[in-house]
Structure formats: C-alpha cells, structure tokens
C-alpha cells in the first residue's frame, strides 16, 4: 500500500501566505512633480500640506479578503488541486484493488508466481508514488504562476495609483507582517485601492 501525505491538502490560498507574496509590492513610488516657483510663504504652506498625504498605507489583509481577483484565483487553484488529487487517488485505488486481489489468491499461487506478482505490484506502487510527486510539483508551479500574476497586478496598480495621487510612498500593513505599527486612519487608502482594483479587474 502507498502511504504518502497529499500534496493537495491545502487548496485555498490563505491570507498569510498571500500577504507575504505582495508584501514587497507596496513600495516607494517617487513620482512627485517639480513645483512652480512661488512666494516662500506659499511654497512652505504647500509643502506642509503635501507632506501630510505623500505617505499612505494599505491593509493587506483587507485587500486580500476583498479583491475579487484573489477570490477567483483561489477558486482556480482549488479546482485544479481537486482534479489533480482525484486523479492521484484513482491511481492509488487501482493499485490497492490489485493488492487486495493478490492477497486473496496468494495461497493458491506458486512461489514464482507470488514473487513475480509482488514485484509487479511494487513497481506499480512506485510509479504511482512518482506520479503523485510530479503532480504535486505541477500544482506548486501553478500556485507560483498565480502568485506571480497577483504580485504583478498589485505592483503595477500601486505604481499607477501613487503617481495619480501624488504619493511618494505607499506602505503595507498586515497582522502577520506589521511593517506599519501605527498609522492615522486618514492615511489608510485600502478601501479606495480595493474599489479601484475591483473596477479594473471586472472591466477585463
């Protein structure tokens, strides 16, 4: 019999792992335009006002929970994982049925027949084990590809968003990766970012 832990036991993308994937995405974006010459008092006033809004932050946990692309990505991976697991299980069951059949008839078989049958069944079991490992590796590759797509989508949007809003830096916050220990709620742009990401994704 084959006793091996499944490669597909965790099919959904957890917020913790996904948060680590995009932790580096929400980085500094220096896109501020050079201001026109103005009186010293006016420039100082403008600089002070702008400084209050040049650094903002995004709550990764909320983004991952509410971004429609992440939900669809999880569904895709879950379906793919279940299909792969079903294929592996059917192969295991086929070998197991042959083992049970052999055990029923072993007493009536000659020593040579038993040896040949056991060798054949052992080879089949090893083949299924190798197939499961390959299927697991393929599934992990699929996860990596999906995560790369997520990273790129968030990264591209964040840069564009920062340029549009005039932000010099966008920080990220997550309970498991608290790069921001405190931030005034007025600097939290998560709701707007999620709204805009979903609008952009649903259009496509």
pLDDT tens for the chain, residues 1 to 204? 334 444 454 444 444 444 444 444 444 343 433 333 333 334 434 444 444 568 999 999 999 999 999 999 999 999 999 999 999 999 999 999 999 999 999 999 999 999 999 999 999 999 999 999 999 999 999 999 999 999 999 999 999 999 999 999 999 888 887 777 788 898 999 999 999 999 999 987
d(CA 131, CA 125): 10
E strand or H helix at 37, and its extent?
none
- pLDDT value of residue 119: 96
pLDDT at 173 (0 to 100): 87
* Dist CA 168 CA 134 (whole Å): 45
Residue 146 has what pLDDT?
Answer: 96
pTM to 2 decimal places = 0.68
Is residue 3 included in any domain, yes or no? no
4, part of any domain:
no
pLDDT attached to residue 191 = 96
According to the model, what pLDDT value does residue 101 have?
95
Helix, strand or coil for residue 151? helix
Which phi and psi (to 5°) does residue 110 adopt?
-75, 165
Distance CA 166, CA 50 (A): 9
> What SS3 state is found at 181?
coil
**Res 181: pLDDT:** 78
What is the 8-class DSSP label of residue 33? P
Residue 53 is predicted with a pLDDT of 62
* The two three-digit tokens of residue 42, written as one number: 């006016």
Helix or strand run (H / E) with residue 79 = helix 68-105
Is there a domain that residue 109 lies in? yes
Q: What is residue 2's three-state secondary structure?
A: coil
pLDDT at 177: 79
The answer to whether residue 21 is domain-embedded is yes
Is 22 within 8 Å of 146 (Cβ atoms)? no
Give first-to-last CA distance, the chain, whole Å: 48
Establish if 5 belongs to a structural domain.
Answer: no
Site of tokens 């500094």: 28
- pLDDT of the residue at 80: 95
Q: Does some domain include residue 171?
A: yes
Domain count for the chain:
1
Residue 7 in any domain: the answer is: no
Domain that holds residue 152: 15-32+39-203
Phi-psi region of 5 (alpha: psi -120 to 50; beta: other; left: phi over 0): beta
Q: Is residue 10 part of a domain?
A: no
């Amino acid at each position: 019999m084959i006793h091996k832990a499944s490669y597909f036991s965790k099919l959904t993308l957890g917020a913790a792992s996904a948060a680590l994937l995009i932790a580096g995405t929400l980085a500094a974006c220096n896109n501020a335009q050079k201001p026109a010459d103005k009186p010293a008092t006016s420039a100082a006033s403008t600089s002070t006002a702008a400084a209050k809004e040049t650094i903002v932050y995004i709550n990764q946990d909320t983004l991952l929970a509410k971004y429609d692309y992440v939900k669809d990505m999880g569904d895709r991976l879950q379906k793919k994982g279940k299909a792969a697991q079903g294929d592996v299980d059917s192969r295991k069951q086929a070998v197991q049925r042959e083992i049970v059949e052999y055990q029923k008839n072993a007493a009536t078989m000659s020593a040579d027949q038993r040896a040949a049958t056991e060798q054949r069944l052992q080879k089949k079991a090893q083949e299924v084990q190798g197939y499961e490992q390959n299927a697991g590796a393929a599934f992990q590759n699929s996860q990596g590809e999906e995560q790369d797509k997520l990273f790129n989508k968030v990264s591209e949007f964040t840069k564009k968003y920062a340029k549009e809003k005039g932000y010099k830096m966008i920080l990220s916050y997550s309970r498991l990766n608290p790069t921001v220990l405190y931030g005034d709620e007025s600097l939290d742009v998560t709701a707007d970012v999620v709204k805009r990401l979903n609008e952009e994704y649903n259009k496509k």
